[in-house]
Structure 1
Amino acid sequence: MCPPTITYTSSDDYKSEMVTRLQEAFTLAKDNLQAAQRKQKEQYDLKSDVINYDIGEKIWVFNPSTKPGLSTKLLHNWHGPYIIIDKLSDVNYKIQMCDSKKSEQTVHVNRIKHFVDPDDRPVTDEGDIGSNIDSIENNDNTMVKILDTMRSRNESKRLEKHYFVQYENGETKWVKENDIKDFAIINDFHISNENA
């Protein structure tokens, strides 16, 4: 089936018809583009969380710039500390280097994260660390040896190593690698498996 043929009486009628069709096509394309943008914004907003930073707060800034000839694997991408001097909108902040008043710049919230000063981190005494380890391990039932090992995924889908441990009283159970405080039994298990 062929499309209907349109006959024009003059070239002006043809031009005006083409202009009308082009305008309709542009309008349709613009409407489709706006609808796609709205849908993409809705999908982005479902997964995004805007973190609010206070004026005067110290932050790191993500800047993955590399110099020619240097490997990107070994470069530091987070620079700072910077300090927030103004909040321009919900997602844009004006920042400057902590040690310089000249280098003001505007950054998006996706490129910044909180700065934790090493001097502000909590410090525990050596006596506190030793008492915590003693309270975690049950002195009545110590681990004797490891019988087997496996890897499994945790809640965040990361692989975790587990060991099948035998205790002094003969009890056996699976234990996370982080819960074993006696590294000698882990070492003995791996050495015996290499020799087997």
Structure 2
Amino acid sequence: MVVHHQVRGALKFSGKMMKCNHDVKASQVCYKDGDKVWLYNPVRKKGQSPKLQSPWEGPYTVVERLSEVTYWIRGRRKAQPKVVHVNRLWQFHGPGQYT
């Protein structure tokens, strides 16, 4: 029973340290309503080399920020809005420019 308790404590400490290390390198991104963004969607098209396909779709327009990490985006005017995680979005700078 004592060993089980020690292992639980070590796992909890290890988890906190991994989170701290991740948070140091992570960046906070905040998009405003109306911002243009690329959507990361690595769907492979049949008959084409995956190396030559771009995993980025767009541009999409941010409709609303639902929480710190989720956004509502819309492609074309009549398209249904999608709810996506901020990790799948990238600021739009122009066609074909991902940086």
CA–CA distance in structure 1, aligned partners of residues 8 and 47 of structure 2:
44
User: Which digits, 9 at most, give the CA deviation of each residue in 1:6-57, with x for residues without a partner?
Assistant: xxxxxxxxxxxxxxx3x962x4444333222211111111111112110121
Matched, 1:112 2:66: no
Where do residues 38-57 of structure 1 align in structure 2 (5 Å cutoff)?
38-57=16-35
Indicate if the aligned counterparts of 1:94 and 1:107 stay in contact, CA closer than 8 A.
Answer: yes
Indicate if the aligned counterparts of 1:92 and 1:106 stay in contact, CA closer than 8 A.
Answer: yes
CA–CA distance in structure 1, aligned partners of residues 88 and 79 of structure 2:
21
Q: Which of 1, 4, 11 is the aligned partner of 1:33?
A: 11
SS of the residue aligned with 1:44?
Answer: helix
Structure (1 or 2) with the larger CA radius of gyration: 1
Residue aligning to 1:96: 74
Measure how far apart 1:69 and its partner are: 4.5
Q: Which of 31, 43, 50 is the aligned partner of 1:65?
A: 43
Aligned-partner residue type, residue 114 of structure 1: Q
Cα gap change, 1:87 to 1:29, in 2 (>3 Å): farther
SS of the residue aligned with 2:52?
Answer: coil
Q: Which of 53, 56, 69 is the aligned partner of 1:75?
A: 53
Aligned residues with identical type, % of pairs: 33
Where do residues 129-148 of structure 1 align in structure 2 (5 Å cutoff)?
none
User: Which digits, 9 at most, give the CA deviation of each residue in 1:140-171, with x for residues without a partner?
Assistant: xxxxxxxxxxxxxxxxxxxxxxxxxxxxxxxx
Quote the RMSD (CA, aligned, Å). 2.3
User: Which runs of 5 or more residues in structure 1 are unaligned?
Assistant: 1-20, 119-196
TM-score by length of 1: 0.42
CA–CA distance in structure 1, aligned partners of residues 51 and 25 of structure 2:
28
Which structure features the higher share of helix residues?
1
